[in-house]
Structure 1
Amino acid sequence: MSIELSQLISAFLLGLLGGAHCLGMCGGIMAAISLHLPEQKKLPVLLSYNTGRITSYTLAGMLVGSLGWSIQQLGPAANQGLRWLAGILLILMACYIANWWKALTWLEKAGQHLWRYIQPLTKPFLPATNSKQGFCLGILWGWLPCGLIYSALTWSAASGNTLDGGLLMLGFGLGTLPTVLATGFFADTLKQFVAHHLTRTVAAIIMIGFGIWTIPGPHQALLMPNHENHAHHH
């Protein structure tokens, strides 16, 4: 396994910092789920929903990790191209979160085609009144078109490994958990903090750093002096 702890932490932070975007996409779903639930059932159903959602992310990560491995077999240029794409998408996502430039909306629109087939499958589980329904709903809602998820998936594909791709998306999913879970409980307070201009700007600057770090170049030798030696052992 070639994944490093720093990459898992980065994936977690990407999910955490992308919370502003998660509120827009998943906040409404979480509020709708918790609205119809008695207080004692809220936490189990919301947790099972999020477990389902993160399971979908992990499976998607394994899928793109395998795809990334296939692309990398085409040669070093293909691998570099994949890393460039992942880095650029992360930078675009940062611009999206900070409201600087909404270029990634086209990517979400492209994902709507797949979502049209998945959305009808969610109907039998609505309203989710128990953990089983919550989990099934989460599995399906995990495929909701989202630029942040697509950016993270491209990043996972660049790992070029099934297990690594899954682990990166698991880390990312866990990072989204605090924001999405809290939405079900104290939506307004959280929304004000996450939607705040300063919060979004700081998150965007850190994400741009991730993007630059992902793009191949001489800066990587400075950031990860042992990475090359580490890679040769695999």
Structure 2
Amino acid sequence: MAAEPLAFSMALLIGLLGATHCVGMCGGIAASVSMGQKDTRRGIPLIIAYNLGRISSYAVAGALIGLIGYQITSGGAGLVLRTLAGLLLILMGLYVAQWWQILTRLERAGGILWRYLRPLASRLLPADTLPKALLLGALWGWLPCGLVYSTLIWSSAAGHWYDSALLMIGFGLGTLPAMLTTGLLAQQVRSLMQRQGVRSGAGLLIILFGVYTLPFSALAGH
């Protein structure tokens, strides 16, 4: 499963349609960066820097797990990894559609690392300079998030570290519409994404791609 256009598009879609979750997890800190300035024009570069740092963290995490995935694939367990990736996509679809929220349990796994990173992130507040906003985003990108973790595991089956990193960049770019409008249009974005018809349709698309990802022909012995 290389980072083909279809997979990259799905990564974008997962990020876009996970907007409600993203605003809930990171919206508060993003709003404090962008709206903590008396001059709103000054807040725009800061929120861009914050999101650039956040997406950079996703790319680094994608590259790291891509290296692990490559080793697993080289060791002959590629079929298992692709099967896991397909199943995770199906679970993500169920999560986005709000039919089953099991992915939230993945967030507990990142709690240990976040205990060490959160104090560092807190020292950067208020993030009133570009370097501080960039570093804050880079640290906040490691916030425990079931959607990020499941996308990471899915991206590990991409085949190469750079493909996994590219998929995570795609996911991060998909979250931008919600994150960049936090404090301005966040309520409208959240209202749109909370419509059950939108969530159900998005969830079904992700589930279908998960089914497509499953290696049925290999499992059947063809």
Superposed pair shares fold, TM > 0.5: yes
Post-superposition CA distance 1:44-73 (Å, at most 9, x none): 011000000000001111111110011112
5 Å-filtered alignment, 1:47-58, equals 47-58=48-59
Counterpart amino acid of residue 59 in structure 2: T
- Mind listing any 5+ residue stretches in structure 2 that lack a counterpart? none
Residue 28 (structure 1) shift: 2.1
Post-superposition CA distance 1:143-176 (Å, at most 9, x none): 0111111121112110121111111111111111
5 Å-filtered alignment, 1:36-185, equals 36-37=36-37, 38-75=39-76, 78-185=77-184
Deviates more, 1:34-43 or 1:169-178: 34-43
* CA spacing shift, 1:123–1:90, aligned 2, 3 Å: same
1: CA distance, partners of 2:130 / 2:74: 42
Post-superposition CA distance 1:180-200 (Å, at most 9, x none): 111242222222112222221
- Mind listing any 5+ residue stretches in structure 1 that lack a counterpart? 220-234
**Structure 2 length-normalised TM:** 0.91
Asked if structure 2 preserves the Cα contact closer than 8 Å seen for 1:72 and 1:79, the reply is yes
Q: Among the aligned pairs, what percent are the same residue? A: 48
2: CA distance, partners of 1:5 / 1:134: 31
RMSD of the alignment, in Å?
1.8
1:12 and 2:3 correspond: no
Counterpart amino acid of residue 182 in structure 1: T
1: CA distance, partners of 2:9 / 2:167: 9
2: CA distance, partners of 1:36 / 1:65: 37
SS in 2 for 1:126: coil
Residue 177 (structure 1) shift: 1.0
2: CA distance, partners of 1:54 / 1:165: 13
Partner of 1:230: none
Q: How many residues align?
A: 217
1: CA distance, partners of 2:194 / 2:182: 13
Counterpart amino acid of residue 71 in structure 1: I
Counterpart amino acid of residue 152 in structure 1: T
Counterpart amino acid of residue 172 in structure 2: G
SS in 1 for 2:102: coil
5 Å-filtered alignment, 1:182-197, equals 182-197=181-196
Deviates more, 1:132-141 or 1:175-184: 175-184
